[in-house]
Structure 1
Amino acid sequence: MSKRLQLLALSLFLLSLATLGHVQAKTALKVATYELHPYVGSQLEQLGATSEIVSAALQQTPYSADISFYKAARAKELAIQGLVDAVFPAVYDAELSSKLVYSDAIPGIKVGLLRKKTGQPHSSLTLVGKSIGIVRGAIPPVISKRFTGATFHEKANNQILLKMLMADRLDFILINKFTAADLMVDQYPEMIGQLEFVESTTLSVDFHLAFSRSFANAENLAAQFNRNLNQLIASGDMQKIYYQHGLSLFTASKGKQVLRVATVANNEMLTMQKLANLYQFEHPNIQFEWHVLDENILRRRLLSELAIGKGQYDVMTIGAYEAATWAKRGWLTPIANLPDDYLENDIITSIRDSLTFDGHMTALPFYGETSVTYYRTDLFATAGLSMASHPSYDDILRYAKAIHNPQAGTYGICLRGKPGWGENIALLSTMANAYGGQWFDMQWQPQLTTEAWQKALSRYHELLVNYGPPIPEEKGYKQNLQLFAAGKCGIWIDASVAAGTLFSPTTSTVSNSVAMAPAPKAITSKGSSWLWTWSLAVPSSSKLKPEALEFIAWATSPAYIQLVAQMSGWIAVPPGTRHSTYASEKYRAAAPFSPDILEYIENATPFDNTLPPSPYSGIQFAAIAEFPAIGTQVGLQAAQVLRGEKTVEQALLAAQRFVQAKMRLANYHPQDHQDTETDAPSNEQDK
């Protein structure tokens, strides 16, 4: 074949590839939505459960969802006017059927009337002359008309309505339970415990994807969407999506005593779930139902369950923060009269103290951890490096730069970038401590714009953006553990509990070349490594307290550790809780790093946690009720820095202002405050 014919053939081949790619490419469907946590949210995993369902149902169509956020009323109006192709979550309104084509129902929400706690019986409730707040554009008139005799007040978002309710400017809000709870958890922790739902007013509201009739393919696409939606329902995939977002409900009990357990999706907890079958065999009257969730979602769902309502869990997996704050509110069952073979004095002192309130343990430790520096000895040797006995963050930067080799699939460093008070903030707090920082000074003034926080966030940004994996703001503990175990990270600063996975040849490709050093310091080592324990607790709302307490005593006992060792090997036992574990010759042989970890855990103290004196306990958190809201928002600011949306200075200034406002509202610094529609914090964008 001549050279000319070869070039012609190559051109035709490339053209065919381009044509094939064009045929397979999806068309962007412009979809408007609004913030409705936890179903839809710009900062939620997969933009929320309902967003994930909409995207999944569009996968088998020629379209993909291009989702943009607006105010609720604005989102609907854009679809009506044909300025976007579709809107969700839309509630069916017959009066708009000439403008919108509604999909089949997406299982939605239950809304009800939320009010301040009054002690008034629900049976004597009258709505005549009462004021009810609703989000403008979110609830159609057909639903609001069911509450005859009441006056409705429309506002731009639920944040405004909650503040009006607390200021006695409304009698009720028509709102979903999860939405109200999540707002309190994330933005208004001072409201937790002060509100209640009037259960008799609950209404079910289905969602729809509503296509604008101005969209030429609306009817046909709605039919395709409905077929795919029904397949999601029939296959159980929709229920899986709800489950992953913590929104599926437990099934009704059928005869047996059902212990309902909420736990985190870590390897150690998954082992507990498997071994619970043995416990159930010995306790035939007990049946387990499990909610095993991502760390961020677990924390949100547990606190939102307690924020409003009676709760549905019998056993909760909580940490040192929750043990320190929830017990004060009476949310946890004090633990006493443990069996003699439980060996309470065998628990490591710093771990036991972190779970003790008013002389009693409020949770039992399943595993304990501190933060350490993992590194690859083979990469260090190739680069001619030696890990310092107690590295600084300057050392870490130098090491990461030297071993960073993305072309070979290895990144210099992996760190938690995923926003969350238990994700990126766990690390950032210890970095700020290492640079001499703190969350609050002794007058409870936030310290987020200090030089220490500036240096910490700047170094964090420098490490991850220059020498970390792609899209670091989407990677938390679990994702980085997988990366390091697969040989993709040269350095990882994270939880000591990961050592069991990384040093085991069955779960790690780098088990023969991983080593450990203390967590880095900067100008101080005080507070530079965290202290945490995932623990099992029984909420005070449980109706099966004796059965739940017996189970958590079994799952945290010396006998359970022996059981795990027998079933999975000593390297897999829950670490960080008992002296007897570290005294075991078999454990030391399987985990030669264990003496160092025991030393790190024993030296970590939440009561002497920062270089300057601080008024709070906790190392990677401040043990105050407001911290989940504070940590969540600061974590979001840090993620914006990683994405290049804000500078370090801009993010810390925004964080400082948010924290100052929260502390004022919580009466740490009482100050006159006026609730107006414009001052309500919101993630919504009015485009």
Structure 2
Amino acid sequence: MLGFWTVGFRTAVRCGGAWLGGWVLGVGAMVGLAGALAAAQAQAPVPRSVTLAASERVPYLGEALVNQGYVADLVAEAFRLQGYTVRLQFYPAARGGAVLRQGDVDGLLPASEADAAPAEGLVASDPFPGDTLGLLKKSATVLPGGALPAAPDLIGLLQALRQRGATVGVVRGGLGEPLAPAADSATDDLQNLDKLDRDRVQLVLIDKYTAADLVTGRRPHLIGKLEFVPGAQLARPLHVLFNTRKPQGRQQLAAFNAGLAQLRANGGLDRILARHGLQPRPVAAKGEKWLTIGTVNNADMLVMRQLSREYEARHPKVKLQWRVMDEGTLRTRLLSDLAINDGQFDIVTLGAYEVPIWARRGWLAPLTALPASYEVDDLFPSVRAGLTHAGQLHALPFYAESSVTYYRADLFEAAGLSLPAQPTWDEVAQAAQRLHRPDDSLYGICLRGRPGWGENMTLVSTLVNAQGGRWFDERWRAELTSPAWEAAVTQYVNLLGRYGPPQPELNSYNENLRLFAAGRCAIWVDATVAAGTLFDAKRSQVAGRVAVAAAPRARTDRGAAWLWSWSLAVPQSSPHRSEAHDFITWATSRPYLQAVARQQGWVAVPPGTRMSTYRSPEYRAAAPFHAAVRAALDAADGHAKALQQGRNYTGIQYVGIPEFPAIGGQVAAEVARALTGQQTVKQALQRSQEAVTSAMSAAGYGPGVKAD
């Protein structure tokens, strides 16, 4: 009853005394109501919150990272378990310490134990996993004195190498500087990597994941050319620093420590590390072999994880460690593993972009011993060709996809609307406007908004193609300020800004799939692979009300739909290549597809890879979308070939060069800032043009240069 009276009272006040619902309160009732409200407020628990100053520490903590990074995820979850909410305020490192001392925030992260100052009331929390310092060098560099000196730890090795005359780069004022005083200091880790690249130093003291992310995101020409000196690394835990002079400081410190202990006990800490791709390899018992599998967190891959229990039952000495990540994190972790030759994975899930480049560079083990029962000739020729280098398969396809337009047939019919088999973006926009009902939690259109070269740029690049645009001309000059780019990005920003769900910049494939399947989206343009979920009544609330059209066109339909496949491959760095080869052969075979059909139904079978699937009467009956998906795949393959005219690069939604993850990520971030209103579309494209031009010049692209 109290909730009813509270709502009624507030509604009455807002309406200026016009009592709603046909009831009137007398003076006595009003007095009683006021007393009840006062008592309820006195008894209600006061919401507990904590405000923390944070400084960027990619890949552990950062505003642009998924959930703001592993550290933010961990801290929020630890506090949540104790009934707190967390708010992060990002500052430069020095400024963060100042606002903590001034009492403007409750704590600071990430911090080291050395940052604690009990005399000032600054107390460090219990530790949690942090970074791992090591000595990075060029793979071709021979260190002074030949063989590495015997040293018990990183500090001992560092001192011995410096005595031999090795030059070491550290960050001035950084956490590593006390370990290497009087070394060659730089303002940041990126500057140190540039010194290493130019042979101004022989070694860099740096965290391994920081090094890997900087190389892949900012210096992609160094991928595969660096390695850490073996034998000595220094793991340094992180802490949250609390100001215990504040009245609630010690209570917050105790709450965080208790929450952290719960996460350690219930496996939550390991799950958070895994979600961000930071989980260490397991230690194998005698006679066991662990295969670490890096894969994306979509429905088909999760089914593979579930069915892999059958594989483990038949191979009792093989254990599988699954590192399941969102698409952007997966790409970062796999590429960063290569960047520093870390050897974390035995099986990797790669896309159509990565396989040709990785194969040409010798990063993948060729698949030379496939059994006749695998039926290679059953694979679609276009999919098989994309995974072949020098006449040999280097990956096996798990599923292939193009993009289509999903829409709610029932909503269109009720509104007197229709959508042609080949719609235009203008027609999609008009329908989205008519069907947008945010007050009813129904949004006109859902599109990928999360920044990333394989996230928002996957869609934006097809919009650009449909407007007749391209990333580069024949001389590798960027064209990101062209009328086609401006028209495409403007339409994208307007569609999501006016008719999309709240905070679309947080949504990518999985988030939009959940929204559409829950009946929250009238239109969704995305991957054909989603059809298996949307048409499955066990997983979709709109299964009987979905229709499919081609991906929208604009000035042209050439390249308006993307072409992609997710495949399984074995890195050359895996110590268990034979076992890994056996697993991916099983996971992409016809018997595997039949196992999915038995357990999940034919509608859930991974699509687009085997011709036999589309000949199957059971699949055709269970998947009414099969013809539309097959047509989209065939059309996209033809457009991919046609797009080669006037371009030096392959790809529809990507540019088939090693530098694309870096430049695509930079443009993705600028487009996301336009989507959130932080800058105009013109500003986003101008900044993108400048960043891409600079990166391509540094990488040596120009007239006559062919794509890798």
TM (norm. structure 1) is: 0.91
Q: Which residue of 1 aligns with 2:152?
A: none
Q: Which residue of 1 aligns with 2:347?
A: 315
Q: Which residue of 2 aligns with 1:169?
A: 200
Q: Which residue of 1 aligns with 2:4?
A: none
Listed as ranges, the matches of 1:312-391 within 5 Å are 312-391=344-423
1:616 aligned onto 2:649: yes
Q: Which residue of 2 aligns with 1:655?
A: 688
For 2:678 and 2:529, the matched residues in 1 are separated by 33
**Structure 2 residue aligned with 1:5, among 21, 25, 28?**
28
For 1:2 and 1:500, the matched residues in 2 are separated by 56
**Structure 2 residue aligned with 1:184, among 208, 212, 215?**
215
Q: For 2:96, give the aligned amino acid.
A: A
1:37 aligned onto 2:58: yes
CA-CA distance at 1:521 after TM superposition: 0.4
Q: Which residue of 2 aligns with 1:481?
A: 513
Partners of 1:71 and 1:156 within 8 A in 2: no
1:233 aligned onto 2:268: no
Q: 1:62 to 1:575 in 2, by over 3 A?
A: closer
For 2:172 and 2:550, the matched residues in 1 are separated by 53
For 1:18 and 1:639, the matched residues in 2 are separated by 41
Partners of 2:54 and 2:110 within 8 A in 1: yes
1:106 aligned onto 2:128: yes
For 1:131 and 1:80, the matched residues in 2 are separated by 37
Q: For 1:88, give the aligned amino acid.
A: L
Q: Which residue of 1 aligns with 2:111?
A: 90
CA-CA distance at 1:568 after TM superposition: 2.1
For 1:611 and 1:228, the matched residues in 2 are separated by 55
Q: Which residue of 1 aligns with 2:162?
A: 127
Partners of 1:32 and 1:68 within 8 A in 2: yes
For 1:556 and 1:140, the matched residues in 2 are separated by 46
For 1:203 and 1:383, the matched residues in 2 are separated by 64
For 1:12 and 1:465, the matched residues in 2 are separated by 45
For 2:589 and 2:81, the matched residues in 1 are separated by 50
For 1:70 and 1:134, the matched residues in 2 are separated by 22
Q: 1:442 to 1:24 in 2, by over 3 A?
A: same
Q: Which residue of 2 aligns with 1:639?
A: 672
The 3-state SS of whatever aligns with 1:457 is helix
Q: Which residue of 2 aligns with 1:522?
A: 554
CA-CA distance at 1:524 after TM superposition: 0.5
Q: 1:669 to 1:86 in 2, by over 3 A?
A: farther
CA-CA distance at 1:16 after TM superposition: 5.1
State the Cα deviation string for residues 473-525 of structure 1 (Å, max 9, x = none): 11110011111111111111000011111111111111111010100000001
For 1:537 and 1:306, the matched residues in 2 are separated by 14
The 3-state SS of whatever aligns with 2:212 is helix
Q: 1:214 to 1:668 in 2, by over 3 A?
A: farther
Q: Once structures 1 and 2 are overlaid, which stretch shifts more, 313-322 or 119-128?
A: 119-128
The 3-state SS of whatever aligns with 1:151 is coil
CA-CA distance at 1:655 after TM superposition: 1.3
Partners of 1:90 and 1:138 within 8 A in 2: no
CA-CA distance at 1:430 after TM superposition: 0.6
1:557 aligned onto 2:589: yes
For 1:623 and 1:355, the matched residues in 2 are separated by 14
For 1:535 and 1:140, the matched residues in 2 are separated by 39
Listed as ranges, the matches of 1:526-675 within 5 Å are 526-605=558-637, 607-608=640-641, 610=643, 613-669=646-702
Q: For 2:364, give the aligned amino acid.
A: L
The 3-state SS of whatever aligns with 1:421 is coil
The 3-state SS of whatever aligns with 2:239 is strand
For 2:265 and 2:320, the matched residues in 1 are separated by 25
Q: For 2:673, give the aligned amino acid.
A: Q
Identical-pair percentage = 43
For 2:91 and 2:341, the matched residues in 1 are separated by 30
Q: Once structures 1 and 2 are overlaid, which stretch shifts more, 168-177 or 648-657?
A: 168-177
For 1:256 and 1:2, the matched residues in 2 are separated by 75
For 1:169 and 1:385, the matched residues in 2 are separated by 66
Name structure 2 gaps, 5 residues minimum. 1-23, 150-159, 704-708
Q: Which residue of 2 aligns with 1:678?
A: none
Listed as ranges, the matches of 1:55-454 within 5 Å are 55-59=76-80, 64-80=85-101, 84-93=105-114, 96-99=117-120, 100-117=122-139, 118-120=141-143, 123-124=148-149, 126-128=161-163, 129-139=165-175, 144-145=178-179, 147=180, 151-212=182-243, 215-254=246-285, 255-454=287-486
Q: Which residue of 2 aligns with 1:684?
A: none
For 1:60 and 1:566, the matched residues in 2 are separated by 39
CA-CA distance at 1:350 after TM superposition: 1.8
TM (norm. structure 2) is: 0.89
Partners of 2:431 and 2:444 within 8 A in 1: yes
Q: Which has the higher contact order (CA 8 A, sep 6+)?
A: 1
Q: For 1:414, give the aligned amino acid.
A: C
The 3-state SS of whatever aligns with 2:233 is strand
CA-CA distance at 1:348 after TM superposition: 1.2
Q: For 1:628, give the aligned amino acid.
A: P
Q: For 2:476, give the aligned amino acid.
A: W
Partners of 1:437 and 1:611 within 8 A in 2: no
CA-CA distance at 1:60 after TM superposition: 5.9
Q: For 1:66, give the aligned amino acid.
A: R
CA-CA distance at 1:210 after TM superposition: 1.5
For 1:58 and 1:569, the matched residues in 2 are separated by 41
CA-CA distance at 1:301 after TM superposition: 1.0
Q: Once structures 1 and 2 are overlaid, which stretch shifts more, 58-67 or 380-389?
A: 58-67
**Structure 2 residue aligned with 1:52, among 59, 73, 78?**
73
Q: 1:134 to 1:54 in 2, by over 3 A?
A: farther
For 1:523 and 1:386, the matched residues in 2 are separated by 21
Listed as ranges, the matches of 1:482-501 within 5 Å are 482-501=514-533
Q: For 1:495, give the aligned amino acid.
A: A
CA-CA distance at 1:122 after TM superposition: 5.8
Partners of 1:609 and 1:618 within 8 A in 2: no
CA-CA distance at 1:43 after TM superposition: 0.5
CA-CA distance at 1:639 after TM superposition: 1.6
Partners of 2:445 and 2:500 within 8 A in 1: yes
Q: For 2:148, give the aligned amino acid.
A: S
For 1:229 and 1:500, the matched residues in 2 are separated by 39
For 1:576 and 1:77, the matched residues in 2 are separated by 56
Q: 1:122 to 1:221 in 2, by over 3 A?
A: farther
Partners of 2:224 and 2:341 within 8 A in 1: no
CA-CA distance at 1:297 after TM superposition: 1.2
Partners of 1:416 and 1:472 within 8 A in 2: yes
Q: 1:18 to 1:170 in 2, by over 3 A?
A: farther
For 1:213 and 1:172, the matched residues in 2 are separated by 40
For 1:28 and 1:261, the matched residues in 2 are separated by 37
The 3-state SS of whatever aligns with 1:253 is coil
CA-CA distance at 1:153 after TM superposition: 4.3
